[in-house]
């Protein structure tokens, strides 16, 4: 594969060796409201593809492959801004979430449950029906 | 040590086995502005201590020990809300950051650098001098 070779020279380096798995967390925020929509993991390939294309890419731990968010649902995440933390081992993607919902459950954010008195309380309703969006 | 035994029964269970290291990421947001201040890692002990005390605890990967954020600087994080993601392997702590800055560099947020044309641009100035705050 010939991916992002032309960016190699000027690419900002993240410290992928910081974790045993070689993966770093990417926090995904709505670029307008700052709501955290999800957290997923990136390796160097996902990082390069994200910077190159302006669409959020991750490394799927369950499928062990490059994952363009929205490749199945069409709900891609357009990158508006990328922030890097003080020790180069975590990034924030500020995105425009196409379709409105980032979570595979149909909820806007994966963080739709709040801890309250030792129980998790669901907040808000799903924006789409996962069975329809992910149907084959 | 006798830590959080009385909470054992009702404690919300996170999926610590999801990562090889047994650690899960905790995203830390300002409870008022939703700015992401930092990301750190928790194990079951840090999780229980956070819920029990209302002060953010993490597992320090560099020191390999329980870490009460602010134990050296005094800049603790008071928990206002905790959110849990859809597959129980990431949490959000919404906090009041005592002292105003979460980053050991003195910046309000660890994410004080923005990617711009293949370079990192620093935004904002430190709120404190790390040499004074962390002096022994």
Interface contact A110, partner B, CB < 8 A:
yes
Give me the pLDDT at residue A11, please.
74
Tell me which of B66 and B4 has the higher pLDDT.
Answer: B66
User: How many domains are contained in chain A?
Assistant: 1
Give me the pLDDT at residue B67, please.
97
- Report the mean per-residue pLDDT for chain B: 90
Give me the pLDDT at residue A134, please.
75
| Averaged pLDDT, B70-85 | 95
| Averaged pLDDT, B59-63 | 95
Q: Report the residue count for chain A.
A: 136
Give me the pLDDT at residue B135, please.
66
| Averaged pLDDT, B32-41 | 97
Label residues B78-108 b or e (16+ Cβ within 10 Å = b): bbeebbbbbebbbbbbbbebbbebbbbbbbb
Residues facing residue A23 across a β-bridge: none
Tell me: is residue B89 an annotated ligand-binding position. Answer: yes
Give me the pLDDT at residue A131, please.
82
For residue range A1-44, list pLDDT tens digits in order.
Answer: 445 444 444 578 999 999 888 999 999 999 999 999 999 999 99
Give me the pLDDT at residue B7, please.
45
Residues facing residue B29 across a β-bridge: B36, B94
Domain coverage including residue A54 = 20-133
Query: Parallel, antiparallel, or unpaired: how do β-strands A113-116 and A91-97 relate?
Result: unpaired
Residue A9 lies in a domain: no
Is the Cβ pair A34, B33 closer than 8 Å? yes
Interface contact B52, partner A, CB < 8 A:
no
Give me the pLDDT at residue A129, please.
86
Give me the pLDDT at residue A135, please.
66
Q: Which residues of A touch B56 (CB under 8 A)?
A: none
Tell me: is residue A110 an annotated ligand-binding position. Answer: yes
How far is it, in rounded angstroms, from Cα B20 to Cα B27? 19
Instruction: Give SS3 for B133.
Output: helix
The answer to whether B117 touches A11, Cβ cutoff 8 Å, is no
Tell me which of B62 and B7 has the higher pLDDT.
Answer: B62
Q: Which residues of A touch B11 (CB under 8 A)?
A: 118
- The torsion angles phi and psi of A48, rounded to 5 degrees, stand at -65, -40
Question: Shortest Cα distance from B18 to chain A (angstroms)?
Answer: 10
Residue A60 lies in a domain: yes
Picking from A60, A85, A130 by the largest number of B CB atoms within 10 A of its own CB, the best residue to mutate is A85
Q: Which residues of B touch A51 (CB under 8 A)?
A: 115, 118
Residue B67 lies in a domain: yes
> What is the CATH classification number for the domain harbouring A128?
3.10.20.810
Instruction: Give SS3 for B47.
Output: helix
Q: Is the pLDDT of residue B72 over 90?
A: no
Q: Is the pLDDT of residue B9 over 90?
A: no
For residue range A100-136, list pLDDT tens digits in order.
Answer: 999 999 999 999 999 998 899 999 889 988 888 776 4
Give me the pLDDT at residue B93, please.
98
Give me the pLDDT at residue A19, please.
87
């Amino acid at each position: 594969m010939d991916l992002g070779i032309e960016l190699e020279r000027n690419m900002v380096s993240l410290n992928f060796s910081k974790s045993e798995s070689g993966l770093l967390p990417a926090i995904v925020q709505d670029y307008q409201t700052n709501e955290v929509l999800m957290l997923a993991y990136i390796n160097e390939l996902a990082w390069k593809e994200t910077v190159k294309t302006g669409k959020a890419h991750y490394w799927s731990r369950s499928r062990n492959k490059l994952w363009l968010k929205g490749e199945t649902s069409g709900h891609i995440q357009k990158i508006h801004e990328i922030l890097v933390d003080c020790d180069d081992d975590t990034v924030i993607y500020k995105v425009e979430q196409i379709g409105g919902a980032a979570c595979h459950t149909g909820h806007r954010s994966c963080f739709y449950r709040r801890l309250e008195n030792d129980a998790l309380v669901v907040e808000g309703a799903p924006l789409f029906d996962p069975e329809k969006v992910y149907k084959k």
